[in-house]
Amino acid sequence: MRNYPKQSWDPSNSVNSLRVKLSVPRPDESKYGTVVGQVKVDDSLSKKPVAELFYNKAGVLTIGVSQIPDVSSLKMTEVGHVEVGKRFEYDLRYEGGNLTVQIDNEKKKVMSTGQLDSPNSYFKVGNYNQGNEPSEVLLYDIVVQHG
C-alpha cells in the first residue's frame, strides 16, 4: 500500500509521518527479514528507496537508509526488537529534512541520509518479502499525516 492520492510530498515539511500497528507472525528467512515499511521517491528520480524497515526471524527490526542517490547504498541500523508474532507499532517520519524511526514507545532515532538531498517522497506499507520462504504481516492500523 502507498500514500493516496498517489502523489509525493516534500520531506522539508513540518509533518510527514507514518504510524503503523502490526504484527509479523511469519517473517521471511533473509538476513534482515521482511520489509514492513518504506520511504520511497518518485521512480523518475530513483528506483531505490530512501529507507526500508526490516523485521527478521529473531524479532530484530533494522532500518536500511540510502546514503547515495540511485545507488544500492543502504546503511543498516538495528532499531529495536519485538518478539515474533507480538503486536507492535512503528512511527516513521521524514520531516524538517530529518528521517526518524521509533518502535513502540522507545526513544526516537534520527537516521543519516548521507548525500540524499531530501527528494520528494512517499510512504509504503506492506509485506515485502526479501527471501524465498513465505512471510506473513498483519496490519491493524495505519495513520499517515502531512502538513
Q: Where are the alpha helices (H) located in the chain, listed in sequence order?
A: none
**Residues 94, 110: Cα–Cα separation, whole Å:** 10
Taking only the tens place, the pLDDT of each residue in 69-81 is 666 778 999 999 9
| Between 9 and 3, residue with greater pLDDT | 9
**Residue extents of the structural domains in the chain:** 16-142
C-alpha 93/C-alpha 82 separation (Å) is: 20
Q: How far is CA 104 from CA 12, 16, 36, 107, in A?
A: 25, 18, 15, 9
Give me the pLDDT at residue 4, please: 60
Look at residue 111 in the predicted model and tell me its pLDDT: 96
How large a percentage of the chain has pLDDT more than 70?
93
| Amino acid 3: pLDDT | 64
Q: What is the CATH number of domain 16-142?
A: 2.60.120.200
Q: Give the sign of the dihedral formed by CA 117, CA 147, CA 144, CA 45.
A: negative
Summarize pLDDT for 89-122 with one digit per residue, the tens: 999 999 999 999 999 999 999 999 988 888 899 9
Identity of the amino acid at 48:
K
